[in-house]
Structure 1
Amino acid sequence: MLENALIMVAIIFIVNVVYVSLMTIRMILTLKGRTYIASFVSMFEIVVYIVGLGLVLDNLNEIQNVIAYAIGYGTGLIVGAKIEEKLALGYITVNVVSSNPDLEFTRKIRSKGYGVTSWPAYGMDGDRLSMQILTPRKYELRLYETIQEIDPKAFIISYEPKRIYGGFWVKQVRKGRLLKRTKAKSNDAVSNMQAKPTKEE
């Protein structure tokens, strides 16, 4: 009986983790405007939900089942958020204020494939350079690293736009321009390493 009870607890926990993970992903997809994909995910979500809830209701007198359901719910939220983080759907807008008003900053960012709009600004201590940069979320950390390399003291704030319309840059990104630049950079690095003579040579 103990073995059967443990199996039931494990099943309820796993089912609820899967259900809440799917629910979290479906909600995020809906917020990002991926309605059809969200609808497809919701079909699996509701089936898993019915199975999990049915197992708990049929064994409601067993407190361990209720606890497993609750723990599975909380764990599912974490798992769903981690999955969405790995998928990195959508775009973010990054606003940067640099104490260096030189437009070379803008050129360096744009040369890496990011969409940049810049304008002069004025701060308490003098002239500034303000930039608005659009990037897919999967390249967000790489963008921050690039900005920090150019100006470690740059002020950065980011937010996620709900809708994006128009502009040539979005079309280029959807065609994989940033990805191609990344691959080309990696291939160049490999070629340079292979071209270096070894000590034996």
Structure 2
Amino acid sequence: MFSAEFLQTDLYNWVVLPLLIYVGRMSDVTLATLRNIFIARGIRKIVPVIGFFEVLIWLLAVSSIIKNLNNFMCYIAFAGGYSTGILLGVSIEKRLALGTQLIRIITNKQSQKLIEALRAANLGVTELDAVGSQGPVKILLVVAKRKDIGKVLSLVNKLHGSSFFTIEDILTAEQGIFPMKTGESRLQYLRRIFPAFKAGR
């Protein structure tokens, strides 16, 4: 990729090589961060592929440092790539919004309008009666895809702004009611929600 003469220049040793190490380390740590998050969320099918490229890039970065032990810029680039990779991995995972979460809403107000609004948005709602420190309350349980959490919270804040709610990750969720994807037919929606569903049955 580079000529033998260029590999001996100060530009390569002090700028290009550290930059390559930085990018390589950033890439492998980004993949490692995503891999760990995917494992924690139960998304395991893609993990071996991520692990393969993660280790491959790591080996290339480490081998470059071993060949240039006297170049302190390589150490700085390696450490900088590690820090950047963590931030980048978390940011990418947040944008992907993979997985499912449980929103637990506790309110002492009439909850029927909120329930109707959530169900109108194709979100499943389970209503429970309970008793809090200040008397009877309603507990609404909503299981939703992470990308739909904003929609749920928007409805809660609009209709029950003073309600207490918690959000927690769910490792696995089967069946249930989830919003249809854009451009998805009702038959495709049913097949996605109910894997055993077949046309004509």
TM-score, with length taken from structure 2? 0.81
In structure 2, the partner of 1:8 is: 17
What's the offset of the Cα at 1:83?
Answer: 0.6
Residues 1:158 and 2:171 aligned together = no
Distance in 2, matches of 1:138 and 1:159, equals 14
Q: Is the 8 A contact 1:114 1:178 kept in 2?
A: no
Distance in 2, matches of 1:40 and 1:156, equals 37
For residues 105-124 of structure 1, give each alpha carbon's deviation from its aligned partner in whole angstroms, at most 9, with x where no partner exists: 21221111112111122223
Q: Is the 8 A contact 1:101 1:120 kept in 2?
A: no
In structure 2, the partner of 1:199 is: none
Distance in 2, matches of 1:12 and 1:73, equals 10
Q: Is the 8 A contact 2:100 2:172 kept in 1?
A: no
Q: Which amino acid aligns with 1:35?
A: R
Residues 1:140 and 2:143 aligned together = no
Name which of structure 1's ranges 149-158 and 20-29 shifts more when overlaid on structure 2. Answer: 20-29
Query: Are residues 178 and 132 of structure 1, via their aligned partners in 2, closer, same or farther at CA, if it must alter by over 3 Å?
Result: farther
- 1:40-189 → structure 2 map (5 Å cutoff): 40-165=49-174, 167-169=175-177, 173=178, 177=180, 179=182
In structure 1, the partner of 2:43 is: 34
| Structure with the bigger percentage of helix | 1
Q: Is the 8 A contact 1:91 1:135 kept in 2?
A: yes
Q: Which amino acid aligns with 2:180?
A: R
Q: Which amino acid aligns with 1:140?
A: I
- Percent same amino acid among aligned pairs? 21
- Across the aligned residues of Structure 1 and Structure 2, the Cα RMSD in angstroms comes to 1.8
SS at match of 1:68: helix
Q: Is the 8 A contact 2:19 2:77 kept in 1?
A: yes
Counting matched residue pairs gives: 175
Structure 1 segments of 4+ aligned residues over 6 angstroms from their partners: none
What's the offset of the Cα at 1:99?
Answer: 2.1
Query: Are residues 147 and 180 of structure 1, via their aligned partners in 2, closer, same or farther at CA, if it must alter by over 3 Å?
Result: farther
Gaps of at least 5 residues in structure 1 are 182-201
Distance in 2, matches of 1:180 and 1:96, equals 30
